[in-house]
Amino acid sequence: MVRTPTKKTTRQTNNPRPSPSMKCGCPPCLRKYPGNRPPATEHTGSWEARYTAPGGKPLSKLKPSYDEAVAFLEETRTMIRKREWIDPSRSEITLCVWHRIWWPTQTGEEITLQRDHGAYTNHIAPKFGSLALYELDWLGIQTWVNELHDKNGGPLAASSVTKVFQVLDRMLEAARRDRRVPYNPAEGIKLPPIPPKHPEEKRPPTYAQLWLVRANLPKHMHALQILAQETGLRFGELAGLRWCRVDLEARMLHVREVLIEPRGKVKRKKYPKSYAGMRTVPLTGLAARVLRDLLDQEPGASFAVSEPDDGMREEELVFHGRNRMNREGKPHRSPVRRSGVHRAWVKAIQRAGVARPTVKVVTVQEMNDATGRPRAVEKKRTDWWPEWRDQRDAFASRLHALGMPEVLVQEVLGHERGAAVTWLYTHAAANVAGQVLAALEDKKRGQGQRLRLVA
C-alpha cells in the first residue's frame, strides 16, 4: 500500500519575536546593528506579534513588551475564531471615499435621495469628509449636531437636524455592518427635540376661511383649490390627475400617479406617496360641477390612457398652468408647479386676512466674493399658516365631524393603516368611496348642522 505524503505545517515558535533595535544590546540586535553599546542578555525593545488574517494575509503588530505582544496575539486569535475580528486597514479610508462606495447601494424615492445627497454635500462632507472612519468619535458628532441647531446659531431647525443626522448614522451603521469599524460612533447621539406646535397651528382652516382665500386666488386656480378642499388630494396627486382617471358619471376619480419635481424638473411617477395612495375618491356635487365646467373649457383635453414612460402628455392633465401660445400660435399647456401655487397661495391668505406668519432667523453659509471663503450670514425665514396642505386636514376634520369611521377616513385620504388591530378587526367595505359620498351628501342625517358650500 502506497501512502501519499502529507504536507507538514510548521508552527511559529518565535512568535512574538524581538524587533531589532539600534538601542538594544542583546546579541540579535548587536548582530543586526553593530555598535559600542553595553551588551544585554534580554531584549529591551519592541516585540513583533505575527498573525494570519481570515483571508490568509499575514499581518503583524509591534508591542512595547513581550507580555503585551502575547496578550495581543491571544486576543486577536480569539476574535478571529469567533469571527469578530476587523481588519484595521479597512477603516483607514475617509468618509468621503466611503460615501462614494455606500451611495450606489441606496434605494428609494428620487425626491428622498435628492434630499439625502444634499444633506451630505452641504452639512456632513464639510465637517467629516476628510476624516478616516476610525477617526470619527461620539463627542465630535454630538458637538456637530448641537452646532447645526438654529437655537445654537446653526442653519437648521430641529426636524432638519434629525434628517441630516440620519444620513450620517446610516453611513456609519453600514460601515459597521461591512466590518470596517467595530461600532457605530453615532449610536446614542441626543438629537434636539422638535418643539411642539401651538394648538392653533394644528387646527386646520375652516371652509369659510378657505372661501375667503379662494376669493383672493387667481381665477385659473379656483378649480384646483376647490378640488383640493373637496377631495383631500395631495398636491402631487392633483397636479398629476388626468382626465382618463375622472369618472363624472359615477362621480369618482382614481388616483394612480403623481407629479414630482426632483431637481426642479417635473416628472411623472407611477405610484402615489405609498401603495395606500392608490385609491378611489368620491366627488361631491361641487367638485363634479367644477370638473364639468373645466372640461367644457378644455376642447383639446384628451381622455387617452398613457403610462409615465410615455412622457408628460400635457393634453391629458386636468390642471395645468396658464395657456401660453407656442411658435405655431397654439396653446401650450404646462404642468402645475408647486412653487407657483405656493407664491399665489401666500398672497391670497394675506389678502384674505387669515394668514399667521412665523418669522425665524437662521444662519446660512455663503461664499464671500472678496475672500472666496464661506461666511455665516443670518437670514429671516417665514413660515405661513394655513399652508396648501392644510386643506387636506380640513377635509379629514370634515369627515370626522360627519361621524365617518377611522378606517374609511384612512382609505379615502390614502393613509397607511394607523394600527394593525384597527385594520384587523374593523374591516372597510368594498365601496369605500360610495360610503364616504353618501355621508357627505346625506340630507336625512338630522344630526348637527349641514355645511353650506359656496363656489
CATH number at residue 135: 1.10.150.130
Other CB atoms within 10 Å distance of the CB of residue 12? 10
Say yes or no: 294 and 378 in one domain: yes
In a domain, 351, yes or no: yes
State the residue for C-alpha cell 425665524: 360
> Of 184, 160, 161, 189, nearest to 174 (Cα)?
184
281's enclosing H/E stretch is: strand 279-282
DSSP state of 63: E
Say yes or no: 357 and 379 in one domain: yes
State the residue for C-alpha cell 407629479: 259
| Residues 364, 374: Cα–Cα separation, whole Å | 10
In a domain, 279, yes or no: yes
Burial class (CB in 10 A: 0-12, 13-18, 19+), 80: middle
Say yes or no: 271 and 293 in one domain: yes
Render each residue's pLDDT in the chain as its tens digit; 455 residues: 444 444 444 445 688 999 988 888 888 888 888 888 888 888 888 999 998 888 788 888 899 999 999 999 988 888 888 777 788 888 899 999 999 999 999 988 888 899 999 999 999 999 999 999 999 999 999 999 999 998 887 888 898 999 999 999 999 999 999 989 989 999 999 999 987 776 666 788 999 999 999 999 999 999 999 999 999 999 999 999 999 999 999 999 999 999 999 888 999 998 776 677 789 999 999 999 999 999 998 877 889 999 988 999 988 999 987 655 556 666 667 899 999 999 999 999 999 999 998 887 766 666 666 776 666 667 777 889 999 999 999 999 899 888 888 888 888 888 876 543 344 333 444 566 777 787 787 755 555 455 444 44
Other CB atoms within 10 Å distance of the CB of residue 98? 22
173's enclosing H/E stretch is: helix 158-177
Task: Summarize pLDDT for 94-113 with one digit per residue, the tens.
Answer: 999 999 999 999 988 888 89
Count of all residues that appear for the chain in the document:
455
Boundary of a domain, candidates 177, 195, 213: 177
In a domain, 453, yes or no: no
Q: Domain of 213?
A: 204-385
Say yes or no: 248 and 291 in one domain: yes
Say yes or no: 291 and 155 in one domain: no
State the residue for C-alpha cell 434630499: 115
Q: Which residues contact 360 (CB under 8 A, 6 or more apart)?
A: 150, 157, 380, 381, 382, 383
| φ, ψ for residue 242, nearest 5 deg | -120, 155
Say yes or no: 101 and 234 in one domain: no
Kindly report the CATH number assigned to the domain that includes residue 215. Answer: 1.10.443
The cell numbers describing 154, all together, are 446653526
The amino acid present at 184, given as its one-letter code, is N
Burial 383-397 (b: 16+ CB within 10 A, else e): ebbbebebbbbbbbb
Residue 211 and residue 454 in contact, taking contact as beta carbons nearer than 8 Å: yes
Q: What is the pTM of this model?
A: 0.69
> Of 235, 231, 230, 255, nearest to 245 (Cα)?
255
| Residues 404, 410: Cα–Cα separation, whole Å | 10
Residue 31 and residue 53 in contact, taking contact as beta carbons nearer than 8 Å: no
The structural domain count of the chain equals 3
Say yes or no: 159 and 267 in one domain: no
Say yes or no: 263 and 249 in one domain: yes
Residue 257 and residue 308 in contact, taking contact as beta carbons nearer than 8 Å: yes
Question: In 232-360, where does DSSP find H-type helix?
Answer: 235-239, 285-296, 338-352
In a domain, 342, yes or no: yes
- Name 280's bridge partners: 254
Boundary of a domain, candidates 48, 63, 85: 85
Say yes or no: 61 and 133 in one domain: no
In a domain, 448, yes or no: no
Say yes or no: 379 and 236 in one domain: yes
Q: Which residues contact 138 (CB under 8 A, 6 or more apart)?
A: 185, 186, 187, 188, 189
| Residues 210, 387: Cα–Cα separation, whole Å | 11
In a domain, 53, yes or no: yes
In a domain, 444, yes or no: no
> Of 74, 46, 85, nearest to 62 (Cα)?
46
Other CB atoms within 10 Å distance of the CB of residue 103? 13
Say yes or no: 236 and 344 in one domain: yes
Task: Summarize pLDDT for 218-264 with one digit per residue, the tens.
Answer: 999 999 999 999 999 999 999 999 999 999 999 999 999 999 998 88
Boundary of a domain, candidates 85, 116, 146: 85
258's enclosing H/E stretch is: strand 258-260
Strands (E) located in 288-397 = 324-325, 331-332, 356-367, 374-385
State the residue for C-alpha cell 531589532: 20
- Name 258's bridge partners: 269
User: Using alpha carbons only, how large is the chain's radius of gyration in Å?
Assistant: 33
Say yes or no: 251 and 326 in one domain: yes
In a domain, 126, yes or no: yes
